[in-house]
């Protein structure tokens, strides 16, 4: 079973425009010239604090993809007068292809690739590694517990499972404390397995990445757990049996 949350485009735009963030570095901008200057100038004239991080030509002539720090993607006309909220789909011979998701996936892949592996709880492949799944997990989530039962099968098929903490109750909650105890345990793999089986573990604390991982999950758009990400940034929301996940990985 998968949980998918859909936000109307107007709500997304309203949420974005209500942000009060400092201007981010424009290191991700991949477009120069008159159109880029028009779009940047229009956005900054109205809201100079909008965290613009990406700007590049869209697949549709005359439109440009505008990416913000929270991963939202909008489309602007080359004169910068119009900003379009919503995903851009290409109609191929046999299906609809979400081209906005391509940009979001790239952003997610880069963010996850930059995470230190030692900050994760990792269940390595039993033999040659053939794939990696990074999972934002909540030890108290029933679907996360079901997914954890699939981990041995994934490991047997060469898939490494990397857990990131996402206590849905939030930082400072009792659930958050359980996550910290797992990440701080001398044997994190055993600790998280016990928690997911409903068993208590010794309360512990240490310098840990739980709060930072929770915040990253929010930035990447995690709305429920488990939230799985593949190496190319593809997002697989909700529980998925090992056999289905292996197909997604092409194994």
Q: Which of 40, 140, 144, 162 is catalytic?
A: 144
3-state SS, residue 215: helix
What is the CB neighbour count within 10 angstroms for residue 228? 21
Q: Which of 108, 138, 140, 162 is catalytic?
A: 138
162 classed as catalytic: no
Q: Which of 108, 141, 162, 178 is catalytic?
A: 141
Describe the crossing of helices 188-196 and 142-156 by its angle, rounded to 10 degrees: 130
Residues 101, 150, 146: CA angle, nearest 5 degrees: 85
146 classed as catalytic: no
Cα separation of the two ends of the chain: 21
Q: Which of 40, 108, 162, 168 is catalytic?
A: 168
The label of the residue with tokens 């008159």 reads 34
206 classed as catalytic: no
Per-residue tokens: 113: 């690739």
Element (H, E) at 184: helix 174-184
Catalytic site positions: 138, 141, 144, 168
């Amino acid at each position: 079973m998968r949980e998918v949350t859909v936000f109307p485009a107007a709500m997304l735009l309203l949420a974005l425009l209500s942000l009060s963030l400092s201007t981010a570095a424009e290191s991700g901008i991949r477009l120069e010239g008159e159109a880029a200057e028009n779009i940047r100038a229009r956005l900054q004239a109205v809201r100079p604090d909008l965290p613009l991080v990406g700007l590049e030509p869209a697949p549709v002539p005359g439109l440009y993809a505008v990416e913000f720090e929270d991963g939202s993607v909008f489309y602007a006309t080359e004169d910068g007068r119009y900003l379009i909220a919503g995903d851009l789909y290409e109609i191929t011979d046999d299906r609809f292809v979400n081209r906005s998701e391509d940009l979001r996936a790239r952003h997610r892949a880069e963010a996850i690739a930059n995470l230190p592996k030692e900050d994760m709880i990792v269940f390595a492949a039993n033999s040659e590694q053939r794939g990696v799944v990074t999972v934002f997990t909540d030890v108290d989530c029933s679907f996360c517990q079901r997914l954890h039962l699939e981990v041995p099968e994934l490991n047997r098929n060469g898939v490494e499972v990397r857990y990131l903490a996402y206590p849905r109750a939030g930082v400072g909650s009792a659930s958050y404390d359980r996550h910290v105890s797992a990440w701080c345990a001398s044997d994190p793999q055993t600790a998280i397995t016990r928690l997911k089986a409903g068993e208590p573990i010794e309360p512990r604390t240490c310098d840990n990445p739980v709060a930072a991982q929770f915040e990253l999950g929010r930035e990447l758009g995690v709305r429920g757990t488990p939230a799985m990400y593949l190496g190319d940034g593809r997002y697989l929301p909700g529980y998925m049996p090992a056999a289905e996940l292996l197909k997604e990985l092409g194994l």
